Amino acid sequence: MEAHCKQTFHRARPCRTLMSHQHKIDNVQLHDLPNFATALITNMPASLVIGLVGTLGAGKTTLVQSIAESLGIDASDVTSPTFTLLQSHQTKALRDDTNDDLPHVLHHLDAYRLADEDEFLELGVDELFEESGSWTLIEWADRVEAVMPPGALWIRIEIDDDNDARELILSTRSAKVAQGFLGL
């Protein structure tokens, strides 16, 4: 894995914070995902919304499964939330009542089949966004970007030419979340 850090200046969206922080990780293979997931959990706040972006088969669900596993959730319980739209899992930190620095709950949503942002809001996502001690991971979050919280962490997954690795492009407008990039 090779990491680069840069900051970009977005003029197109003056309604939100102007500065967007970005962090790219090249050549992430399947076997790198557990380490990446653990680094993310260790370095990011315990309350976080993650928007996952990438074409069909980019690896969004696989990344959610890896993060879930690093939180002590059985990865086989994490499937694309096609019918239920929202799946919530208790993490090891909640079950063992141990670490307040780690998320206690992981919420998993998939916006692919939603008609519009209203349908997304009807799922009660505003409450999830406010919840402390939980991570909310949303596949196809670019489809509901207008109602995503400004402090979200975005992870764009690009498929490498030979399809055996991915490039991860992380971005956020939150200085606190961007601080976590330093540990990745």
The SS3 assignment for 177 reads helix
Residues 67-106 vs ligand ATP: string with x where CB under 6 A? -------------x--------------------------
- Residue closer to ligand ATP by CB (options 60, 143) is 60
- Residue closer to ligand ATP by CB (options 34, 150) is 34
What's the min distance (Å) between Cβ of 79 and ligand ATP?
A: 10
Does residue 59 belong to the site contacting ligand ATP (CB under 6 A)? yes
Residue of 80, 133, 151, 159 that binds Mg ion (CB under 5 A): 80
Does residue 60 belong to the site contacting Mg ion (CB under 5 A)? yes
* 8 A C-beta contact, residue 108 and residue 84: no
* 8 A C-beta contact, residue 28 and residue 1: yes
165 binds, among ligand ATP, Mg ion, none (CB under 5 to 8 A by kind): ligand ATP
Give how far Cα 33 sits from Cα of 9, 66, 84, Å.
Answer: 29, 6, 26
Q: Which stretch binds ligand ATP (CB under 6 A): 9-17, 23-31, 84-92, 96-104?
A: 23-31
Alpha helical stretches, state H, 21-168: 33-43, 60-70, 92-95, 117-122, 125-130
* 8 A C-beta contact, residue 23 and residue 181: yes
> What are 178's two structure tokens?
């961007």
- Residue closer to ligand ATP by CB (options 127, 162) is 162
Alpha-carbon distance of 117 to 109, in angstroms, equals 13
Of how many residues is the chain composed?
Answer: 184
What residues make contact with ligand ATP under the rule CB under 6 A?
28-30, 33, 54, 56-62, 80, 139, 164-166
